[in-house]
Amino acid sequence: MKIIVAGGDGFCGWPTALYLSKRGHDVSIIDSMVRRKIDSELHSNSLTPIASLEERVAKWKELTGKEIRIYEGDLVHYDFLKEVLKREEPDAFVHFAEQRSAPYSMIDREHAVYTQTNNVTGTLNVLFGIKELVPDCHLIKLGTLGEYGTPNIQIEEGYIEIEHKGRKDVLPFPKQPGSFYHLSKVHDSHNIMFACKIWGIRATDLNQGIVYGLDTEETRLDPVLTNRLDYDGVYGTALNRFIIQSTVGHDLTVYGKGGQTRGFLHIKDTVRCIEIAAENPADHGEFRVFNQFTEEFSVGDLANKVQNVAQQEGYQVNISNLENPRVELEDHFFHAENTKLKDLGLEPHLLDDEVIREILKTVENHKDRVIEANILPKVTWK
Ligand code: NAD
Ligand code: USQ
């Protein structure tokens, strides 16, 4: 298949582009490089040194003979996007290209507006581009599990059957997101659902949980193919952050009570889920939703797991329950359905001590790059 990976220079997008290319798909990448610019804005860095996108794809070609074409540009610029769609005529458009940090979206008005403008406009442009130029193209859009929030009932995959005053319907599952970033994903979902209904577009919304790890078989082939890894208080996510903190002697930063429970998955499963979605496209007019995660953990449990493995590796690790910079429940029910991707063939890589140890061994090699001042959270929701 011809597949565009938008956001293909990022943490999820780069390993996905390599994986799809290795599996024989004809891949091209769109990326505006804005994440690399945001690293400078935040005086932050990827824990791992990352080569330029040009160097990355050149190395991939040298090692495998496979070409990945690059289009540097912004989805918000419709003329640019139209040119790429005309040239590529993709069968699938994998859309990772958004501002994805909840804390970044909560810094101030400007960052909230940037996040929602970038994400919502970019996705609207992709919808119009598909409608005008490639109506058979399957949109595979990265949503987030956090669109649902933490309701006191089981979370279904996109839709719930409701009986109300004697009548029944299957309706979108209620959304109660917890940041302006998570809200941007909800707005996207609504726009995509509407476009599917009125124009017959085919789309899959992947409500992904928190991704951990950094390596896939492909990114490990050569240091130039190394994936980015965020650890700072703005872009770093739970688990990856805890593992990195443990190697530099920083207390593990559990926010509040630590009972916040979320869905998680290994980066190796992210790339496979995209392949599954691409190879089993939604029908025309269908707005299909998959919950893309493999296991649920509370952040407190994750900190305990990391502490245990790090201690076995000779590190002295403490856990600190910091004042929570976010507004969120810290002790709540959480259970989400996640059978659809497994039914289509996903075989999850589950989290155990060996997986934590493997990530820890990789991050140890780069721990001298950690900027300690960036570890503690500085952005607050209030
Ligand atoms: P990332 O920041 O590492 O990568 C995003 C990439 O998109 C960057 O390379 C950036 O330069 C590019 N980009 C952003 N806006 C763009 C635009 N308007 N035009 C072109 N390129 C643009 O993020 P990630 O962790 O790889 O996340 C990818 C997607 O997956 C996001 O949509 C995110 O919401 C979703 N997601 C991520 C996680 C996670 O744990 N990382 C979990 C659930 C969902
Ligand atoms: N948390 C801590 N300590 C930390 C970091 C986070 O306790 O050092 C807590 C947070 O308060 C929150 C939970 O861990 O309760 C998750 O936070 P996170 O920063 O790991 O993840 P989140 O902000 O939800 O965002 C990440 C990605 C985002 C994606 C989302 C999936 O950055 O792109 O959409 O995970 S989900 O959470 O399922 O919506």
Domain boundaries, the chain: 2-374
Q: Which of 100, 265, 359 to mutate to test the pocket of ligand 1 (most atoms within 8 A of CB)?
A: 100
Distance 154 CA to ligand 2 centre (A): 20
Q: Other C-beta atoms within 10 Å of 365: how many? A: 11
Coil, helix or strand at residue 239 = coil
- Angle among Cα 145, 146, 149 to the nearest 5 degrees reads 120
pLDDT digits (tens, 9 = 90+) for 228-240: 999 999 999 999 9
Specify whether the CB–CB gap between 180 and 106 falls below 8 A.
Answer: yes
Please state the atom number of ligand 1 nearest to the C-alpha of residue 228.
Answer: 3
Identify the residue whose C-alpha is closest to ligand 1 atom 34.
100
Query: Residue 319: helix, strand or coil by DSSP?
Result: strand
Amino acid present at 189: S
Bridge partners of residue 210, in order along the sequence: 264
C-beta atoms surrounding 26 within 10 Å:
17
The gap from C-alpha 259 to its chain's centroid, in whole angstroms, comes to 22
Distance in Å, CA 200 to ligand 2 centroid: 34
Any residues with CB less than 8 A from the CB of 77 and at least 6 apart, and which?
A: 125
| Mean pLDDT confidence for 331-358 | 98
* Cα gap 2→80, rounded to integer Å: 19
pLDDT of 14 reads: 98
Structure ipTM: 0.99
Mean pLDDT across the stretch 77-100? 98
Tell me what pLDDT residue 42 has.
98
Rounded Cα distance between 80 and 209, Å, is 31
Long-range contact set of residues 20-27: C-beta below 8 Å, sequence gap at least 24: 20/94, 20/271, 20/274, 20/275, 20/278, 21/60, 21/64, 21/66, 21/68, 22/64, 22/66, 22/217, 22/218, 23/275, 25/1, 25/278, 26/1, 26/2, 27/3, 27/68, 27/69
Cβ(58)–Cβ(313) under 8 Å? no
Q: Which two tokens stand for residue 258?
A: 């630590």
Q: Which CATH number applies to 2-374: 3.40.190.170, 3.40.50.720, 1.10.3720.10, 4.10.93.10?
A: 3.40.50.720
What is the band of 8 on the pLDDT scale with cuts at 50, 70, 90? very high
In the three-class reduction of DSSP (H, G, I as helix; E, B as strand; rest coil), residue 216 is classed as coil
Q: What is the pLDDT of residue 335?
A: 98
| Torsion angles phi and psi, residue 123, rounded to 5 | -70, -40
Nearest residue (CA) to ligand 2, atom 26 = 210
Q: In angstroms, rounded to a whole number, what is the distance separating the alpha carbons of residues 242 and 254?
A: 9
Average pLDDT over residues 309-332: 98
Alpha carbon distances (Å) from 208 to 165, 352, 357, 358: 33, 20, 24, 23
Q: Are 104 and 379 in contact (CB under 8 A)?
A: yes
Q: Please report where in the chains the tokens 């599996």 appear, as a residue.
A: 23
Q: Is the CB of 227 under 6 A from ligand 1?
A: no
For ligand 2, is residue 328 a contact (CB within 6 Å)?
Answer: yes
Q: Residue 365 has what pLDDT?
A: 96
> DSSP code of 232?
S
Whether 361 is catalytic is: no
- Name the catalytic one among 16, 123, 144, 219: 144
Mean pLDDT, the chain, whole residue set: 98
Using alpha carbons, list the distances in angstroms from residue 331 to 32, 150, 262, 300, 324.
Answer: 39, 10, 12, 11, 13
- The pLDDT of residue 63: 98
Mean pLDDT of 330-356: 98
Mean pLDDT of 259-283: 98
Residue 364: partners with Cβ closer than 8 Å, 6 or more residues away: 247
Q: Distance between CA atoms of 358 and 380, rounded to whole angstroms? A: 32
Which one of 141, 185, 268, 305 is the catalytic residue? 185
Q: What is the pLDDT of residue 95?
A: 99
- 246 confidence band (pLDDT: 50, 70, 90): very high
Give the pair of three-digit tokens for residue 206.
């992947």
pTM for this entry: 0.99
Active site residue 204: no
All residues at 6 or more sequence positions from 41 whose CB lies less than 8 Å from its CB, including other chains: none
Q: Is 144 a catalytic residue?
A: yes
Provide the 8-state DSSP code for 283: P
- Arithmetic mean of pLDDT, 126-154: 98
The fraction of the chain above a pLDDT of 70, given in percent, is 100
pLDDT at 84: 99
